[in-house]
Amino acid sequence: TRVCKQVTSGKKTAKPTKATVKQQQGKKGPLEMSAKKPVPFLRQVVSVKKKVHRDPRFDDLSGEYKPEIFMKTYSFLDSIKKQEKEMVQKQLKKCRDVEQKEKLQQLLNRMTQQEQAQKKQQKLRERELFLKRQQRELAKQGKRPFFLKKSEKRKLELAEKYAELKRSGKLESFLNKKRKRNAIKDKRRLPSQ
């Protein structure tokens, strides 16, 4: 009604001046109000949208993680890693500084370890896929599916490792190291005399 009376009488509505409302101090700063003017009973509160962080590991929007698809999609990274490794090896040969050489050696070791771990994971995945295929074939023939225990999987791994070491000719050295390690463990378990 007040606005209606002002319009009919011809008076202009009062605009907020710089004295009443000052500019914000930055984007996130609050509006600075005059202390002389009383605060209205129903004051306007500006709602700020809260940022919702989403974790792709647990979010359905990101889809399901399948290692085979992931490896195929990011297979180009292997060539980049290989180039980086060669670059580090070249720098290591040229480097004269002892500290820098040590850092480069650590980096090279880490790269080789990551490469070996990736190959190991790939072998495990291939073995699991092979076992799954065998189970599917047996199921098609009408036989009941048989799932291997962890201990049996470990035995298969050891047998494969043994065959690989025999092929490469490193079996004897591996077994000698294993014997030494076991002898040290046995000495520790014995009571002191």
SS3 of the chain: the string is CHHHHHHHHCCCCCCCCCCCEECCCCCCCCCEECCCCCCCCCCCCCCCCCCCCCCCCCCHHHCCCCHHHHHHHCCHHHHHHHHHHHHHHHHHHHCCCHHHHHHHHHHHHHHHHHHHHHHHHHHHHHHHHHHHHHHHHHHHHCCCCCCCCHHHHHHHHHHHHHHHHHHHCCHHHHHHHHHHHHHHHHHHHCCCC
- Considering the domain architecture, whether residues 142 and 154 belong to the same structural domain is answered as no
Kindly report, residue by residue over 97-145, the tens digit of the pLDDT. 999 999 999 999 999 999 999 998 888 888 888 888 988 998 899 888 7
**Model's pTM, two decimal places?**
0.56
- Average pLDDT estimate for 57-82: 88
- Considering the domain architecture, whether residues 138 and 75 belong to the same structural domain is answered as yes
- Considering the domain architecture, whether residues 69 and 96 belong to the same structural domain is answered as yes
- Average pLDDT estimate for 36-57: 84
- Considering the domain architecture, whether residues 134 and 156 belong to the same structural domain is answered as no
- Considering the domain architecture, whether residues 115 and 176 belong to the same structural domain is answered as no
Boundaries of domain holding 162 = 148-183
Kindly report, residue by residue over 8-19, the tens digit of the pLDDT. 776 555 555 554
